[in-house]
Amino acid sequence: MTSAPDVKPIKFNRPQLRFILSKLASAVSLWSRATGKSTIIAWLIHMIVTKMPRSCWGIVGSTYGQLLTRTLPSTIAQLEKLGYIKDVHYFIGRKPPENWNWPEPFQRPVSYKHFIIFYTGAGFHLISQDGNGSSSRGLNLDGYIGDEALLLDREKLGTDVIASNRGNKNYWKGCDLHHGKFLFSSMPWGDQGKWLLNDSLYYERDGNAFEATRNNMIKLQLDFVDARSMTTRMQLYEEILELSRQLRFYPNPKAMKRNRQETPKGLLYSEANIFDNLANIGIPYVEEQRRELSDFVFLIEILNQRPATVEAGFYPRLKISHHAEECMATDYIAGLNFNIAKLKEPGCLLDSDCLAHLPLRGAVDWGSKISCLSVAQVHKDAGEYRFLKDFHVKHPKLIEDLAKLFCDYYENHLLKEFHFIEDSEWGNARRPDSKLTYNQQFAEELQKRGWRVRFFNQGRVPNYAIRYKLGIDLLGEQDARQLRIRFNKVNCRHTLTAMSMAPLKENSKGEIEKDKGSEKKKTIPGEEATHFTDTVDLHFLSIDKHVARSTPETSGLLMVSS
C-alpha cells in the first residue's frame, strides 16, 4: 500500500502571491532560478484542473527532452506538495484504468502517448518544437503553458501553438484562464528569447519604467552577497527593501500592439529573483551559489540581470538560432520513466550529440580566477564540428577539479580518448610546486581515470586578425567543404554567451583585436569576457590545422599560419 505523502504547508513568496491574487488572464514570468517557478506552474495546473474540468491545454517546450528532464520532474514534485499523486490523480502517457470512469476532455486526444490526463477530465498535451512530442497542429487548445520560454522559437510558437489556442467558447464562461498564455523563463540572453521582453512595454506606456530600479537593486544584492560584515549587510538590505517597495508589477490594463506582437489586456509581466524567495531558500544557499557558479550564471540565472549586448563583436557571424540546438537523448530519457533522482544526475548519456565511439577534443584556458574547458567532437559523416559541453572552475579550484568534472561527466563514454588541443604559451606554464606544466598535469589526471590523451599542439597562436577572419569563415559557412560549426545550446551556454558578448576593438595601429579588458572588470562576468572564447579559438585553429587538412579534399580550404 502506498503511504500518504508528507504534506507540509506551502509558504508562497511575494511574486507567487502576486501571480495567485492578480486577476490575470495570461502571464509572462521572467523569474530566476530558485524563485519558485515550478511551484507556481503546479498551482496554475491545479487551478486549471479544478476551474476548467475537461479542458485541453498545451505544455510547450523547445524539445521533448527538455519537457522530460527539466519541466515534468520539478512539476511532478510540486504537484505532490499540493496533494496530487502521479498514477492516482493523474496519468502521464497513458489512459487511466477503464473502470475508474474518469471523464475525458471535450477535445480528447487521438493518442495519450504525449498527454497528461487528470481526474476531472482536464488534460495537457506535451508539445515540443522539435517534433518528438505532441503536435499542436489541428488541435483546439484552451490555453498553453511554456516553460524555459527563452528557448522557444517565436515563429513556430505563433504558427502552431498560438494559432491553436481557440474555440470552446461555450464552456467555462467568465473564467479568466480560458485561452490564456502562461510563459515562464529565466532571463533571456544572446539573440534568443528577447521577444519575451516585449510584453513588458505596457509599463513604459504607463510611465512605470522599472528597469533602472531593478538594475540598482541587483547591484545592491550582489554587494550584499559579497559583503562579509553583518553591519554592512543590514545596511544594504534596508536599501534593497526600499527599492523592492518601489517596484510595481500588475496586469496590463489595456491591450497594446508593438513590434508586431500583441500584449493582451490582463497579461501580467513580472520579473523576480532569488532574494524574493529568501524566506524559503535561506542566505547560506545564495552564498553557496555565489561560490560555485560562474559569475555569468549567478548574475543572470540567480539575480535575474538583463545582460548587455554587443552590436559588433568578435564573432559577427554567430547566430545562436542557427548554430545551436538542444540535443537530448529522448529515448534514453523516456526510459527512465520520470525517475527524478536519475534525471538530475549529470552525464553524457543524456546527450544525443555525443557519439560514444568517437574521441573527445578539448581546449583549456587557465586563469587565476577562472579556468575553462570546452569539449567537442568531429562528426565527419554529418560534416559537422560539434561543441558538446563546457566546464569551468573558479579559484581556488584548478587542475584536479576541472579534470574531475570532465571525467565524471564522461564516465560512460565508450572510447576514452581525449585529443588535447594546446598552445605553446599559456598552457605550458608551471606552478611553483610542480615540475609539470598545467596541461601535463591535466593530462595526467585524465590518464589516472583511464583516458588516453593525445596532444595536438598549435604552436604559437596567430594574431587576432587571423582568428577573427577564421571565425567569420567557419561560422559563415560559405565553403561547403568546411565542417559546419554546431553547439549544444544547453551544455555550451557559457561559451555561446561569451562569443555573443566578446567585444571587438582596434589597436593603435588600426589592427583588429579581441577586447580583453572586460576580464579585469568585476562588474562584467568572466564568461561574458573572453575566457571561453579563447578555447573556441583553439578549436577553430585546430579544425584548420589538424582536422581539415586530414581530409582527402584539401584544395580551397582556409590555411592559417602562425
Band (7; pLDDT cuts 50, 70, 90):
low
pLDDT for 269-280, tens place per residue? 999 999 999 999
Of 89-98, 163-172, 218-227, minimum mean pLDDT range: 163-172
Band (554; pLDDT cuts 50, 70, 90):
very low
Band (560; pLDDT cuts 50, 70, 90):
very low
User: What does pLDDT average to over the chain?
Assistant: 87
* Whether residue 493 has pLDDT greater than 90: no
Of 99-108, 423-432, 494-503, minimum mean pLDDT range: 423-432
pLDDT, position 138: 66
Spell out the domains of the chain, with CATH numbers in brackets.
14-210+251-272 (3.40.50.300), 211-247+277-307 (no CATH), 320-326+355-550 (3.30.420.280)
Band (491; pLDDT cuts 50, 70, 90):
very high
Q: Is the dihedral of CA 503, 504, 506, 512 positive or negative?
A: positive
And the C-alpha cell for 526? 568572466
pLDDT, position 51: 96
* Whether residue 56 has pLDDT greater than 90: yes
| Closest by CA position to 421, among listed 464, 381, 374 | 374
For 91-118, the DSSP string reads EESSPPPGGG-----TT--S--TTEEEE
CA 422 to chain centroid, in Å, comes to 29
And the C-alpha cell for 190? 544572446
| Closest by CA position to 249, among listed 213, 280, 216, 222 | 213
C-beta separation of 331 from 201 below 8 A: no
pLDDT, position 38: 95
Which of 161-170, 187-196, 447-456 shows the highest mean pLDDT? 447-456
Amino acid at 328: M
Band (338; pLDDT cuts 50, 70, 90):
low
pLDDT for 174-212, tens place per residue? 899 999 999 999 998 766 788 999 999 999 999 998 999
Residue 364: phi and psi, rounded to 5, are -120, 145
441: number of Cβ within 10 Å = 17
390: number of Cβ within 10 Å = 25
pLDDT, position 524: 53
Band (344; pLDDT cuts 50, 70, 90):
low
353: number of Cβ within 10 Å = 22
* Whether residue 455 has pLDDT greater than 50: yes
pLDDT, position 148: 92
* Whether residue 240 has pLDDT greater than 70: yes
509 φψ region: left (φ > 0), alpha (ψ -120 to 50), beta (else): alpha
N-terminal to C-terminal alpha carbon distance within the chain = 71
For 491-530, b where at least 16 C-beta lie within 10 A, e where not — what string? Answer: bbbbbbbbbbbbbbeeeeeeebbbbbebbeeeebbbbbbb
Of 264-273, 411-420, 517-526, minimum mean pLDDT range: 517-526
pLDDT, position 481: 85
1: number of Cβ within 10 Å = 3
Give all strands of the β-sheet with 26-31 in edge-to-edge order: 90-92, 115-118, 123-128, 56-61, 143-146, 180-185, 26-31, 267-272
Q: For residues 314 and 503, what is the distance between their CA atoms, to the nearest angstrom? A: 6
Q: For residues 170 and 116, what is the distance between their CA atoms, to the nearest angstrom? A: 23
Q: For residues 391 and 385, what is the distance between their CA atoms, to the nearest angstrom? A: 18
Q: Mean pLDDT, to the nearest integer, of 350-359?
A: 96
- At 165, is the secondary structure helix, strand, or coil? strand
* Whether residue 517 has pLDDT greater than 70: no
pLDDT, position 521: 53
* Whether residue 330 has pLDDT greater than 60: yes
- CA angle, residues 109, 148, 135, in degrees to nearest 5: 25
* Whether residue 531 has pLDDT greater than 70: yes
Band (559; pLDDT cuts 50, 70, 90):
very low
pLDDT for 24-54, tens place per residue? 889 999 999 999 999 999 999 999 999 999 9
